[in-house]
């Protein structure tokens, strides 16, 4: 198969344009934010953003995966796609109102939340609005260019406005406000686009569509809850124990490099998911993983040795203290790409989605046990938490890899 002429390559390129532009803007904005806001105020932002991982998870409810699959199957049925869009949007509107109520209660009940209440509540509203963007439609139709055009446009606007409004440490509140404005623009653009380009609109829907989509999404939802427990809990715990201290800012900055690894991995996994559901080209998967292994053998030691220098260059003077934190999360950085590729693109296409979902549950159990031990033994610090997270990521990767290899017969049958 000549993949260089395929839709897969085009979609992957579009998502890499998106990822590259996003990371380029990160390289511009994050160092500026850390320098202007300082470690303490940037820690407030990091704590709030970590909480948004849970908010985003509940708002999505697994629709980004189940919805993508439904759109792929019914791509020529505009009536069904309109019903699907309506059902998912209604869910997110109702769920968003409930989440906002819960967050208001928490912000005025818990002292650790109260310190960051304004930042948290504006972020909740921003993420609620962003959840209404129907990216599952573009993914299922394999039209990644629309996601790229819209997201890059909104992020450029955000970056420009950030430099205009964020001038001193107390301006940190502008970050969630500008994100909210950008997300409102994104929703308007996306809704107009799916109507004019694909004829998808709000419509009446059958109760069966609602039941079917909720039932399909629930396993993905449970899986993503588990994934969030071991991927995003670190900052929450640090915020609860050390809120207002510089160590939270140091961790949040080092964690951006792990986020970079995820953003490099995500475009390939996202474009491979619908492609593998149709083509089941496992030879291509093996070539991609082989190339990555060679790349990481070269780059991994370089990053580990120069971690202090990298953090100071990226985040500013004084952030070299984040270097050891970066070293502790290096194992997680190394396995992020293959674990993304093996998870849903490979295991789902082999009919092994239950194992893909369970791998996240396994990770949550392992991480939960380790964190309980750390807390009970009064060993809570940034290094113990980072090491536990890296250990969990490696175990999850090994589990997925072993399941794939144990089911090699399924691959040969395709």
What DSSP line would sit under 144-210, residue for residue?
Answer: HHHHHHHHHHHHHHHHHHHHHH--SGGGGGHHHHHHHHHHHHHHHHHHHHHHHHH--------HHHH
Instruction: Give me the residue spans of the domains in the chain.
Output: 4-240, 244-409
Write down the pLDDT at residue 98: 92
Task: Give Cα 24 to chain centroid, integer Å.
Answer: 17
30-84: per-residue pLDDT in tens?
Answer: 777 777 877 777 777 877 887 787 888 888 887 777 777 788 777 788 888 888 8
Task: Give Cα 238 to chain centroid, integer Å.
Answer: 20
- All residue ranges of the chain with pLDDT < 50 are 1-5
Write down the pLDDT at residue 4: 42
Write down the pLDDT at residue 110: 80
Whole-prediction pTM value? 0.62
Nearest to 377 by CA among 100, 28, 385: 385
Q: How many Å apart are CA 60 and CA 203, to the nearest integer?
A: 21
Write down the pLDDT at residue 411: 62
């Amino acid at each position: 198969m000549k993949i260089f002429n395929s839709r897969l390559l085009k979609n992957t390129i579009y998502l890499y344009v998106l990822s590259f532009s996003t990371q380029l803007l990160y390289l511009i904005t994050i160092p500026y934010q850390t320098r202007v806001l300082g470690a303490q105020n940037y820690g407030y932002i990091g704590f709030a953003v970590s909480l948004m991982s849970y908010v985003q998870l509940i708002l999505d409810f697994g629709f980004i995966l189940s919805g993508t699959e439904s759109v792929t199957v019914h791509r020529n049925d505009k009536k069904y796609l309109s019903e699907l869009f309506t059902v998912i949007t209604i869910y997110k509107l109702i769920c968003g109102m409930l989440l906002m109520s819960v967050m208001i209660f928490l912000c005025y009940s818990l002292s650790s939340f109260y310190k960051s209440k304004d930042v948290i509540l504006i972020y909740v509203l921003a993420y609620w609005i962003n959840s209404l963007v129907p990216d599952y439609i573009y993914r299922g139709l394999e039209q990644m260019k629309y996601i790229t055009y819209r997201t890059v446009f909104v992020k450029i606007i955000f970056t420009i406005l950030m430099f205009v409004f964020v001038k001193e440490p107390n301006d940190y509140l502008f970050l969630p406000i500008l994100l909210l404005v950008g997300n409102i623009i994104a929703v308007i653009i996306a809704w107009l686009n799916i109507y004019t380009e694909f004829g998808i609109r709000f419509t009446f829907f059958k109760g069966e569509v609602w039941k079917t989509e909720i039932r399909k999404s629930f396993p993905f939802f449970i899986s993503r809850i588990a994934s969030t427990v071991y991927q995003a809990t670190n900052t929450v715990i640090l915020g609860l124990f050390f809120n207002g201290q510089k160590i939270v800012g140091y961790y949040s900055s080092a964690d951006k490099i792990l986020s970079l690894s995820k953003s490099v991995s995500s475009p390939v996994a996202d474009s491979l998911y619908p492609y593998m559901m149709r083509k089941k080209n496992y030879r291509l998967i093996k070539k991609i993983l082989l190339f990555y292994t060679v790349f990481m053998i070269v780059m991994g030691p370089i990053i580990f040795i120069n971690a202090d220098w990298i953090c100071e260059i990226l985040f500013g003077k004084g952030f070299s203290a984040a270097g050891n934190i970066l070293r502790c999360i290096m194992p997680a950085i190394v396995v992020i790409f293959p674990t993304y590729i093996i998870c849903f693109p490979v295991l789902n296409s082999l009919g092994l989605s239950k194992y893909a979902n369970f791998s996240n549950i396994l990770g949550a159990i392992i991480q939960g046990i380790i964190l309980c031990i750390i807390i009970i033994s009064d060993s809570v610090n940034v290094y113990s938490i980072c090491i536990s997270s890296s250990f969990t990521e490696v175990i999850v990767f090994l589990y997925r890899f072993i399941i794939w290899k144990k089911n090699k017969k399924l691959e040969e049958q395709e």
